[in-house]
């Protein structure tokens, strides 16, 4: 059976999106662990051998842990939000009704993000 013969369900789409996000999440966890391990080892080695430049490089490598972890957090947040889409979808009776519901939701998300952007730029202006 081809994909055209058997349409996927909304639940399957959501599950797949979350599973794909999870793969990226695991990769980022791996990166975070690798950065910390390599960075700290380099740092310890550089300190014991009194290598200032290598110590700084080790420190910088360890610091890369932070963007990796914040990306993991962001990905997890998105995955949770995607999972919660099941709640409004479960209340819709027809595909059309669900599509309208999603349209409203999308507008709300877009509006919120826009508002966040405005707030952020206002804060940045005020800081300047």
In the complex, the residues that contact another protein under the rule CB under 8 A are 1, 5-11, 13-14, 17-18, 20-21, 23-24, 27-28, 67-68, 71, 74-75, 78-87, 89-96, 98-99, 102-103, 105-106, 109-110, 113
Residue 21, helix vs strand vs coil: helix
Please identify, using beta-carbon distances, which residue of 86 and 122 lies nearer to another protein: 86
Q: Which residues contact 89 (CB under 8 A, 6 or more apart)?
A: 10, 98, 101, 102
Report the nearest approach of another protein to the CB of residue 89 (Å).
6
Among residues 122, 20, 25, the alpha carbon closest in space to that of 73 is found at: 25
Q: Which residues contact 29 (CB under 8 A, 6 or more apart)?
A: 68, 72
Please identify, using beta-carbon distances, which residue of 41 and 103 lies nearer to another protein: 103
CB 76 within 8 A of CB 15: no
Please identify, using beta-carbon distances, which residue of 44 and 99 lies nearer to another protein: 99
CB 79 within 8 A of CB 22: yes
Report the nearest approach of another protein to the CB of residue 105 (Å).
6
Please identify, using beta-carbon distances, which residue of 55 and 89 lies nearer to another protein: 89
Report the nearest approach of another protein to the CB of residue 52 (Å).
29
Place of tokens 């005020």: 126
Report the nearest approach of another protein to the CB of residue 50 (Å).
34
């Amino acid at each position: 059976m081809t994909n055209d013969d058997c349409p996927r369900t909304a639940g399957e789409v959501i599950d797949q999106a979350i599973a794909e996000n999870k793969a990226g999440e695991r990769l980022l966890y791996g990166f975070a662990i690798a950065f910390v391990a390599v960075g700290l080892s380099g740092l310890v080695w550089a300190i014991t051998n009194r290598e200032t430049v290598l110590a700084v490089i080790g420190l910088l490598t360890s610091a890369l842990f932070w963007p990796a972890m914040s990306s993991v957090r962001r990905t997890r947040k998105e995955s949770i939000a995607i999972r919660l889409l099941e709640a409004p979808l479960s209340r819709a009776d027809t595909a059309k009704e669900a599509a309208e519901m999603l349209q409203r939701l999308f507008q709300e998300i877009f509006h919120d993000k826009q508002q966040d952007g405005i707030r952020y730029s206002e804060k940045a202006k005020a800081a300047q």
